[in-house]
Amino acid sequence: MKFLICGGAGYVGSHMVRYLDSKQHEVVVYDDLSTGHREAVSPDVAFVQGDIGDAAALSRLFAAHRFDAVIHFCARSLVGESVVKPYLYYGNNVANTLVLLAAMRDAGVDRLVFSSTAAVFGHPQADAIDETHPTEPINPYGQSKLMVERILADAARAYGLRSVALRYFNAAGADPSGSIGEGHDPETHLIPNVLKAVLGQGAALKVFGADYDTRDGTCVRDYIHVNDLASAHLLAIEYLADHAGAFTFNLGNGEGFSVREVIAAAERVTGRPVPHELAPRRAGDPATLVASSLKARERLGWQPRITQLDEILASAWRWHLQPGY
Ligand code: UDP
């Protein structure tokens, strides 16, 4: 199949491109490089620099290629930033997605997989969050993703667009090759910050709150390997071949680890201490976020492969040890 990967130079997107390439699919990456990295996409893969809000550029792209499906990773994704810059988030994540959807419709491309997030749920009301959990986002980032999910449901009814929204819990780790990985600037995510602290890059890790109602007082998250996310996207596209409609699936391992447990695992894996200090809670962090991914397992046949926290950390560590990562 031939895929358009919007945001294919970003963290999850670049792993998706690598995964599709390994399955002999044809890929064109479209990315404005606002947060992605050109070097994360192999020179052998077709790359077009552009913005999904640019209707003329998209129209040229769809005229030049006959895509079977689009996988859409382009987004702003920092919760804190979304609170202070909501127009940026609604503009990028919602308005620009509408431009992409219109271009797909004009070109007759009717299959889409969309990167959504556990942030659509807001404060968790259950130990394991399944797809029936209420969606009440508590920040503009989560709102923007939920708005797109709703647009996709309307588009299925009105235009017959087939879509799957995949709600990632905590994407983590790196391709076992060590050649691509997670590199945000600024970096806000726990695992890269833990590994930076191990490497002495910047200050000690700040542990945001140790007074949560969890087993050791620090926040619990469900870390899912980025290549397992990639495999779910391809299964989702295959699912759409014989299922019409707009579907949502939660993607996680179903097991939560606290910040302290992640630090301990990083010390085991790297054999080095993680310099860290206690800091105040970060605004908007729920105590626990753990997925139930039963629906993805049952309907998509999804089976995460790299499920041990140590293994996830080891893959991220390999990437952090590359010169100039
Ligand atoms: N966290 C932390 N120090 C950091 C980054 C994150 O203590 O430098 C905590 C954060 O408060 C949350 C967990 O680690 O409880 C996971 O945060 P991350 O930003 O990786 O993902 P999120 O769950 O916010 O999507």
DSSP secondary structure code for residue 159 in this structure:
H
Give the per-residue pLDDT at 321. Answer: 93
Instruction: Identify whether the C-beta of residue 290 lies closer than 8 Å to the C-beta of residue 151.
Output: no
Instruction: Identify whether the C-beta of residue 25 lies closer than 8 Å to the C-beta of residue 31.
Output: no
Instruction: Identify whether the C-beta of residue 217 lies closer than 8 Å to the C-beta of residue 133.
Output: no
How far apart, in whole angstroms, are the C-alpha atoms of residue 3 and residue 26?
Answer: 6
**Ligand 1: residue whose CA is nearest its atom 14:** 190
Which CATH superfamily hosts domain 190-222+254-320?
UDP-galactose 4-epimerase, domain 1 (3.90.25.10)
Helix (H) or strand (E) holding 28, with range, is strand 26-31
What DSSP line would sit under 173-230, residue for residue?
A: ---TTSSS----SS---HHHHHHHHHTT-SSPEEEE-S-SSSSSSS-EE-EEEHHHHH
Q: What are phi and psi of 175, to 5 degrees?
A: -55, 135
Distance 189 CA to ligand 1 centre (A): 5
Q: Pick the atom of ligand 1 nearest to 191's CA.
A: 20
| CA neighbours closer than 13 Å in the CB half-sphere of residue 268 | 13
DSSP secondary structure code for residue 39 in this structure:
G
Instruction: Identify whether the C-beta of residue 118 lies closer than 8 Å to the C-beta of residue 250.
Output: yes
Other Cβ atoms closer than 10 A to 66: 10
How far apart, in whole angstroms, are the C-alpha atoms of residue 177 and residue 316?
Answer: 10
**Ligand 1: residue whose CA is nearest its atom 5:** 190
Q: Is the CB of 206 under 6 A from ligand 1?
A: yes
Instruction: Identify whether the C-beta of residue 266 lies closer than 8 Å to the C-beta of residue 257.
Output: no
How far apart, in whole angstroms, are the C-alpha atoms of residue 218 and residue 215?
Answer: 8
User: Which residues are annotated as catalytic?
Assistant: 141
Considering the four listed CATH numbers 3.40.50.720, 3.30.200.20, 3.40.50.300, 3.40.1710.10, the one that applies to the domain covering 2-172+223-251 is 3.40.50.720
- Among 221, 224, 226, 288, say which to mutate for ligand 1: greatest number of ligand atoms within 8 Å of CB: 221
- Among 190, 220, 277, say which to mutate for ligand 1: greatest number of ligand atoms within 8 Å of CB: 190
Average pLDDT of adjacent 10-residue blocks, the chain of 325 residues:
98 98 97 96 97 98 98 95 96 98 98 98 94 96 98 98 98 94 89 96 95 97 98 98 98 97 98 98 90 98 97 97 76
Write down the domain spans for the chain.
2-172+223-251, 190-222+254-320
Q: Is the CB of 281 under 6 A from ligand 1?
A: no
Distance 214 CA to ligand 1 centre (A): 15
**Ligand 1: residue whose CA is nearest its atom 4:** 190
- Among 220, 226, 229, 282, say which to mutate for ligand 1: greatest number of ligand atoms within 8 Å of CB: 282
Q: Pick the atom of ligand 1 nearest to 194's CA.
A: 8
Q: Pick the atom of ligand 1 nearest to 169's CA.
A: 25
Give the per-residue pLDDT at 81. Answer: 92
Domain pair 2-172+223-251 / 190-222+254-320, same fold: no
Predicted TM-score (pTM) of this structure: 0.97
Q: pLDDT per residue over 71-118, tens digit each?
A: 999 999 998 899 999 999 999 999 999 999 999 999 999 999 999 999
Pairing of strands 220-221, 257-258: antiparallel
Give the per-residue pLDDT at 23. Answer: 97
Our separate counts of H helices and E strands in the chain read 11, 14
Q: What are phi and psi of 316, to 5 degrees?
A: -65, -40
**Ligand 1: residue whose CA is nearest its atom 6:** 190
Give the per-residue pLDDT at 285. Answer: 86
How would you class 20 by CB atoms within 10 Å of its CB: exposed for 0-12, middle for 13-18, buried for 19 or more?
buried
Other Cβ atoms closer than 10 A to 263: 21
Q: Is the CB of 170 under 6 A from ligand 1?
A: yes
> For the chain, how many residues are written?
325
Q: Pick the atom of ligand 1 nearest to 79's CA.
A: 24
Give the per-residue pLDDT at 184. Answer: 81
Give the per-residue pLDDT at 46. Answer: 98
How far apart, in whole angstroms, are the C-alpha atoms of residue 118 and residue 303?
Answer: 19
**Ligand 1: residue whose CA is nearest its atom 18:** 189
Q: Pick the atom of ligand 1 nearest to 219's CA.
A: 15
